[in-house]
Structure 1
Amino acid sequence: MNFTNQYCYFYEDDLFVDTDRDGFRRRVITGDGLQLCFWRIAGGATGSFLHRHEDHEQLGIIVRGKLDFRINDDPDSTERVVLGEGEAYIAPKGVWHGDSVFIGDDEYGECWILDVFAPPRDDLLAG
């Protein structure tokens, strides 16, 4: 298919970019006030550290596989949450999240996550 509409984006495997973390690929689409980062992460991949965004809200939706991670106001909390396909999380500004375990699905062996950031993150603009 040849989609030429500048406002429409479709799944194209060759447009996903490898990152500096083993097993992490992404495709980023950026608008004026928000940004979508489509992650394809190999099951069992590591490299997601506990962090927070002071200037960005983050909304994540699990599309394939599962995400086992920490999300809490308290960075010392060890409570973990496991989200499966079709489930979502919100990390408002300043909320700690990460320390993730990515559980791959049966078909691709990957965890697919759609992360929406508002406003867009400058560090994701290049990819």
Structure 2
Amino acid sequence: MNLTSEYCHFFDDDEFVETGRPGFRRRVLTGDNLQLCFWRIAGGSVGSFLHKHDEHEQLGVIVRGGLDFRIGDDESDQDRRLVGEHQAYLAPAGVWHGDSIFVGDDEFDECWILDVFSPPRDDLREEAAR
């Protein structure tokens, strides 16, 4: 049975694109109203600065490893959260998040995150089109 079509996508290792940050690779799929960014990030990586999206909601699911980061309404809040495998986080529009440390899993020493954005981010849409 051939499952390949414009509606079915598989995430083979060679489908992930290196980013400008060491240890960060991603694959982006964009629809009309939502967007999936599948991250594979080397354990111990840093480089996610504290930021917010004023026009986008972000929902993240940790598939492998863990995410140690800051999230909240107050940019100066120094409290950190550890989100582990099979757990999720929600960053509504305007909520600060980031300053992340990525915890690798035992098999690949990677953190795998599925980030869903709504509406889609134009910067990621342009990258996926390349």
Q: Which residue of 1 aligns with 2:9?
A: 9
For residues 13-52 of structure 1, what are the structure 2 equivalents within 5 Å?
13-52=13-52
- Return structure 1 stretches of 4+ with deviation > 4 angstroms: none
Amino-acid identity (%): 69
TM superposition shift of 1:2: 5.3
Q: Which residue of 2 aligns with 1:63?
A: 63
TM superposition shift of 1:3: 3.5
What amino acid maps onto 1:6 in structure 2?
Answer: E
Length, aligned pairs only: 127
Unaligned runs of 5+ in 1: none
Distance 2:3 2:11 in 1: 11
What amino acid maps onto 1:57 in structure 2?
Answer: E
Distance 1:55 1:21 in 2: 24
Distance 1:3 1:47 in 2: 36
Q: Which residue of 2 aligns with 1:107?
A: 107
Unaligned runs of 5+ in 2: none
Distance 1:2 1:46 in 2: 39
Q: Which residue of 2 aligns with 1:116?
A: 116
Q: Tell which deviates more after alignment, 7-16 or 63-72.
A: 7-16
Partner SS for 1:14: helix
TM-score by length of 2: 0.95
Distance 1:52 1:11 in 2: 27
